[in-house]
Structure 1
Amino acid sequence: MSYALPKTFAPLREYLRRLGADVNHLASARQAAFMAQQLLGTRIKFPPQGADMTSTLFLIQAELQGGRTSAPAAPPPPAKHRRKGGRSLARQADHVAKFTPSVFAAGVHIFCDGAAIPNPGAGGWGVVVYEDGVETAHALGGEPVTTNNQMELTGLLNAIEEAWRLVTEYGSVTIWCDSEYCVKGVNEWMPTWKARGWSKRKINSSKREEGEIKNLALWQAIDAALAEVPKFGEMRIKWVKGHIGVAGNERADELAEQGRQRMQDMHELPSDDLDRQYRDIMGAA
């Protein structure tokens, strides 16, 4: 069952809709608040899991109406020249238009995400499954000391495992990930690495020792999980722009943060242990 912001939050709902957020396919009031906080840049403290989110949503809406976050105007024409690294409003609008709710309305769409804060540090991953636009399953987890990339890959691996449950029934499953590292890795880099004996360097290269692949065990696990897919159906792994209001992406991000927070709370390590694990993990960032 999806959640819809009630009439009392009409200003917030309209603001999110105009930003391109998918306001009609939210899983819960907490997800609505999480998405709003991400898009508006507010810093409202959330209550514990399971608590009522009404007051939190009112506080976020109050900041919107109080002028700290103004309603979006029509985007201006893109500038002819921008500083290197700048991102135009026009390009942002293109991303929003590309990932409209209709893209994810039919079939199976699985979103995954992962993060570590700090990096390396406590990390979490999240996966959410949608069948014909309805959330049907989710999963989350994490590690006490890990990296962003490791959690992104772990989220993808768990998304593939979820996809296996559905690919024979639907014939085709799409996994969406906002990490270009993961998406390019699977679709572009991994076949080359395998052909070179799991190395970035050619087999006969004089610099083969420099071809080490970071997070190799995770890449090999992903490769093994995908190996038999063509016998049963199609499993596509595609990139989605993060934090533009795509409900599935925001939901996966929320789950990853829950997993990260859980690890942080469960594993309060002494500072000397954290320093040692930091040094160990930097070689696999």
Structure 2
Amino acid sequence: MKYVYAVARGRKPGIYESWPECLKQVHGYANARCMEKGKNNKSGFDKHSRKLGPVKNVVAEQWISDGVPVVYTDGSCMSNGMKGRCKAGFGVFWGDNHPDNLSEPLHEGPPTNNRAELTAVIRALQQAEKKGYKRLVVKTDSNLLIQSMNVWIHSWRKNNWKTSTGSDVKNKDLLVELDMMLKKVQVCFDHIRGHVGIYGNEKADELARAGAQLYCQQ
């Protein structure tokens, strides 16, 4: 059975004969959708087809099957938004007893959950670059981070890190640093649900909360 790939929403919708060709049309494209269809020489398309779902998840699955390393990142902020009381930290989880697991307080900027989430990814990419990784799957429960890196960052970059209203993008310093890191390590950001028992996510959360406990008001 030969399979082809139908891109319903992507850079150039259409039918593609191979997964790499399909991937070029959907990788990094917001809300992209594609379908895998079975095909034989006699009757064309048959009933063996399946929706591949959100393409970012499909890309992550493909990369993981190719042996690309996976890391879970998370940020934590206790009493988030309460001036003088909030504590922020981040966690990076590569695996049980992995020497590169991180649990640290947020050292720079205001202690917010979003800054902690961004810092966690930056530190993970720094580790990946040091190890010589060319690709990395980053799993996170932060929808804001996913949207920022997969959708909004393209327009922010073109607009010199300004929003549509002309104001500076929040956490510009971290976003610019992360954008630079993405030129060194190709990343697939994979959104996962938080606090539903996903092992790697729970471990990253534990590390982030422990890091926040070490935070000292500056």
Displacement after TM superposition at 1:136 (Å) = 5.2
Q: Which residue of 2 aligns with 1:221?
A: 177
The answer as to whether partners of 1:125 and 1:141 remain within 8 angstroms in 2 is: yes
Tell me how far apart the structure 2 counterparts of residues 256 and 182 of structure 1 sit (CA, whole Å).
16
Computing the radius of gyration from Cα coordinates, the structure with the larger value is 1
Q: Which residue of 1 aligns with 2:150?
A: 187
Aligned residues: CA RMSD: 2.8
Equivalent of residue 91 in structure 2, options 126, 137, 148? 126
Considering fraction of residues, name the structure with more helix: 1
Equivalent of residue 143 in structure 1, options 106, 113, 123? 106
Equivalent of residue 159 in structure 2, options 196, 211, 214? 196
Q: How many residues align?
A: 152
Tell me how far apart the structure 2 counterparts of residues 228 and 116 of structure 1 sit (CA, whole Å).
29
| Contiguous gaps of at least 5 residues in structure 1 | 1-97, 202-206, 270-276, 278-285
Equivalent of residue 175 in structure 1, options 138, 151, 160? 138
Displacement after TM superposition at 1:228 (Å) = 2.7
| Contiguous gaps of at least 5 residues in structure 2 | 1-56
Query: Is residue 118 of structure 2 the alignment partner of residue 153 of structure 1?
Result: yes
Tell me how far apart the structure 2 counterparts of residues 137 and 245 of structure 1 sit (CA, whole Å).
22
Q: Report the secondary structure of 1:200's partner residue.
A: coil
**% same residue:** 26
The within-5 A match list for 1:1-285 is: 107-120=68-81, 121-130=86-95, 135=98, 137-143=100-106, 146-166=111-131, 168=133, 171-201=134-164, 207-208=165-166, 211-229=167-185, 234-263=186-215, 267=216
Q: Deviations over 1:184-211 (max 9, x none)?
A: 111111111011111112xxxxx53xx3
TM-score by length of 2: 0.61
Tell me how far apart the structure 2 counterparts of residues 134 and 245 of structure 1 sit (CA, whole Å).
19
TM-score by length of 1: 0.48
Q: Which residue of 1 aligns with 2:47?
A: none
Displacement after TM superposition at 1:122 (Å) = 0.6
